[in-house]
Amino acid sequence: AQTVTQSQPEMSVQEAETVTLSCTYDTSENNYYLFWYKQPPSRQMILVIRQEAYKQQNATENRFSVNFQKAAKSFSLKISDSQLGDTAMYFCAYIADSNYQLIWGAGTKLIIKP
């Protein structure tokens, strides 16, 4: 079965600190994609970063980067120089090319304190 696990229900850090959110997944597929989505309190889900499983290089988007460990089935998100606007629920998600439904983790509530 395809599953996504986020083991940190809630995290809190000071503004400007670096924070890492963890995500592990289980799959027998060879071709798949991994995503981190962010849902701020206003509720609109926004894509933060995306990683293709066939790419060895870790994806980066400005202050956001991932540590993709394919053999360990791990996909953590690092947020550098955290900002108040980063406060949100963060969801790790997976999609395989055998079906196009996103499989979601339970989410991590991230609070950035001033």
Sites for another protein among residues 32-61 (CB under 8 A): 33, 35, 37, 42-47, 50
Pick the binder of another protein from 21, 79, 103, 110 (CB under 8 A): 103
User: Contact at 8 Å (CB) between 2 and 29?
Assistant: yes
- The sign of the CA dihedral 36, 38, 43, 44 is negative
Considering beta carbons, is residue 48 or 82 the nearer one to another protein? 48
Q: Shortest distance, CB of residue 22 to another protein, whole angstroms?
A: 16
Q: Which amino acid is at 106?
A: A
The residue to which tokens 């933060």 are assigned? 48
Nearer to another protein, 28 or 44 (CB): 44
Amino acid at 94: Y
Whether the Cβ atoms of residue 90 and residue 110 lie closer than 8 Å to each other: yes
Residues at the contact surface with another protein, assessed by CB under 8 A: 4, 33, 35, 37, 42-47, 50, 91, 95, 97, 99-107
